[in-house]
Structure 1
């Protein structure tokens, strides 16, 4: 039995009984008293599991949780695939934050995640070499902007800034009430109430210039309304879905797409060896890009406006190669 397996046995025994004697632990683990003490010390010091010796019960137990305590887990070997991915992704995310973004605050958190993931047989370096998380199209945000936006969001204060919109390539002055900060496809976005537009809008954080936190309190929007507005449509574009796209994929691409989640409210079905996918959307810009990446392996069946948009994009792409 290796050390990681012993940790697992110890954890199960302590959580399953009010107290476990030293003799019971030694018999279960088949190790020396010195090895048992080293294991208990490691679990306390490196994994923050509050193991104490209860003199009244003459055995070891896990201390009762306090109001501000957090959950305690074992090394990454015992996590399921979703938990391992979440921890690795979060550790990778912390490693790749721009210098100065949250540097004074994240070092203890990174150390805690590393302790959770590491065991005797694997270090975080070894895990990271074997399990890769690849960011895509990440854009750099200014640390000062991130910090100010986060502070205004949590302090519930309005912000004023100049915003460079990529679509029209223009710069406008905005006064907003921050509602949520979203990390989507490796980039940061700020969901907010735009006081000038009198509507909810989403702002790419790296396009914000000259941000300033104001003294005025934010306009409060209900969580239910925010969920409906920002989550029901496709991708980063918000708003109530006005249309439903129906896509049909080739037999070859079906083998991949049939297992993918494009949208929480999507519907899918098979037509012979082809897969059809129905997706709600309000703005087709991001959806068109995702359709185009499948090239000739997908056909837009509905609506006609989306079909025409994709067709026009394909014609323009073709013209680039006819020159």
Structure 2
């Protein structure tokens, strides 16, 4: 009885590995499962007998791949459940539920790899028949694009982006590393092959369709251990007209819940103060942004922000007086 349990557990582990990445060599699977190559081949045959289409490619560069159209291991979902999960993941991936976006994209990339064609048609039909009501300023990026980019990150394959940046629409060949989500936007951290450097791309500026994934690449050492911190620094140090440095007279842990990583970078100075660095093309937007946080602060840079703060203060004073003339 024990060998049977061990075999069943190993088959589930093998299914999990085949779903986590597109291609595996027999040696890689044997190492992960801590068995010999002959056992891997026998286990693959058992999976095929159970109805899972495991494709094998012979030769030195060959390996194993779980084919599309398989049941959804290890969760055995029926058609209605699979469609419901796919639609829910699409909704969560586009930011409807805070905190679920990145996990939803990873799960959606796995699900779409194995979803049978008949179910993909049903998901697409439901998607085209529904309309979301986003915020007016929310940048839109499709779940299909996010899933495709996430799959390229997972499988370590180059992708060719048609990207609309400051220089207009350009074509960029990149080695995708990771997707990062802020409360308002998705960003892709990738190695730009032509520029031989790390770059951050706004996902809503990537033009669809993405196209087929390219050659495999060997992962490079990421620019920082914390990819989210790297994106925060990249987007707040962009070439804005104004770069602001604001000293808040409040501890970092008090200011942080009111500060989005996509809006600026927050660093502790000491136990009672923290430094906020942000860029903007509008001094008025900067003035309002730091004022509404509700903490006392000093402007370190730029000096042009100080008269704008006075202007905003005076306008608020006039508004308060006009709104309640009997208070004077």
Common fold: TM-score over 0.5 = no
Give the shorter-chain TM-score range: 0.3 to 0.5
TM-score between both structures, scaled by the size of structure 2: 0.42
Q: Which has the higher strand share?
A: 1
